[in-house]
Amino acid sequence: MSSKQMTYRRLGRSGLKVSVLSFGSWVTFDNQLGDEPAIECMQAARDAGCNFFDNAEAYAGGGSEAQMGRALRALGWERNSYVVSSKFFWGISGNVQNMRNTLNRKYLLQAVDGSLERFGLDFLDLIYCHRPDPHTPLEETVWAMSDIVASGKALYWGTSEWSADEIRGAWEIAERHHLHKPVMEQPQYNLLHRERVEIEYARLYDDIGLGTTIWSPLASGLLTGKYATGVPADSRGALPGYEWMAERLTDGAALAKVEKLRPIAAELDCTMAQLAIAWCAKNPHVSTVITGASRASQVMENFAAHEVIELLTPEVMERIEHAVL
């Protein structure tokens, strides 16, 4: 697949366009991958037309950002040719007061500096509030994020796993004070996890022009079908610290739904993963689908889902809907 074949969508109402399929580093970078495989994965995504690379401060305790930064330097891409992100909330400073599980101004302004240092970049394209913070006034968080954008250290800001009310509240504060508004939300979205994107956020797309950079299109791998007989030893579900994921991946009711998708994928001559990724991208309110991979061949397989999107006719979509009810 050449870069010309990739589809690019506006990020909400902003003028920024992101590839409808993108590449993220959660779980894999600095956990499963060394620098060379990470470089190969990013180049494979780039070759498929990807221009958005997602990351977060908390991924591998900052190690994911550092590894992606080394990869970007090794690859030598022009800075205006890619979009890179980070997310802030959890913190990586041990139990230092005011620097963990917060969105207060002190933490946010220092967190973005730490992120830029690990990446080795002058600015980030997208920054997110990784979770809502009920202990910090929303106005304080909005001012801090807007000030980061105004400083040039980031170009757009948004949220991740915030409720519709919290997103609207932040947008209205920014509107009232003529600040930089939240542009995008990063929610989980897949065939088995749909309510927030399809129902809760429904009015936000038209009301405030919300863009979405969705994560976990494969439901942590469940929708690939490879967990039908248990958790493979080389999968992310078998990694230390991800026992919670293994429990989800062996849920009998969910696995039964996944198996109903198998004949549909076979008829379309695509993999289960490609079907699930393409289904997410079919939603016009999805700006980009963040995919993950631990090897370049897996990246190429995931990005081939771009060719499946147009195969999802209304009839096929109805069959998929019936399978996962």
Q: Lowest-pLDDT range, 29-33, 291-295, 298-302?
A: 29-33
Query: Taking residues 67-82, what's their average pLDDT?
Result: 98
Q: What contacts 11, CB < 8 A, 6 or more positions away?
A: 17, 18, 126, 156, 183, 184, 211, 213, 287, 288
Known active-site residue 59 = yes
CA angle 230, 236, 237 (to 5 degrees): 40
Instruction: Classify residue 196 by its DSSP letter.
Output: I
- pLDDT category at 28 given cuts 50, 70, 90 is confident
Query: Taking residues 72-91, what's their average pLDDT?
Result: 98
pLDDT of residue 98: 82
Q: Based on DSSP, count helices (H) and strands (E) in the chain, helices before strands.
A: 12, 10
CATH topology of domain 3-220+280-295: TIM Barrel (3.20.20)
Residue type, 82: Y
Residue range 135-154, pLDDT digits in tens:
999 999 999 999 999 999 99
Residue range 254-276, pLDDT digits in tens:
999 999 999 999 999 999 999 99
pLDDT of residue 12: 98
pLDDT of residue 4: 47
Residue 230 has pLDDT above 90, yes or no: no
Residue range 157-198, pLDDT digits in tens:
999 999 999 999 999 999 999 999 999 999 999 999 999 999
CB atoms within 10 A of CB 87: 25
pLDDT of residue 2: 41
| CA 277/CA 50 separation, integer angstroms | 14
pLDDT of residue 247: 65
- pLDDT category at 116 given cuts 50, 70, 90 is very high
Residue 126 has pLDDT above 70, yes or no: yes
| CA 30/CA 37 separation, integer angstroms | 11
Q: Which of 59, 156, 201, 227 is catalytic?
A: 59
Residue 242 has pLDDT above 70, yes or no: no
pLDDT of residue 232: 61
Kind and range of the H or E run holding 183: strand 182-185
Instruction: Using alpha carbons, select from 96, 102, 110 the residue that is nearest to residue 148.
Output: 110
pLDDT of residue 250: 72
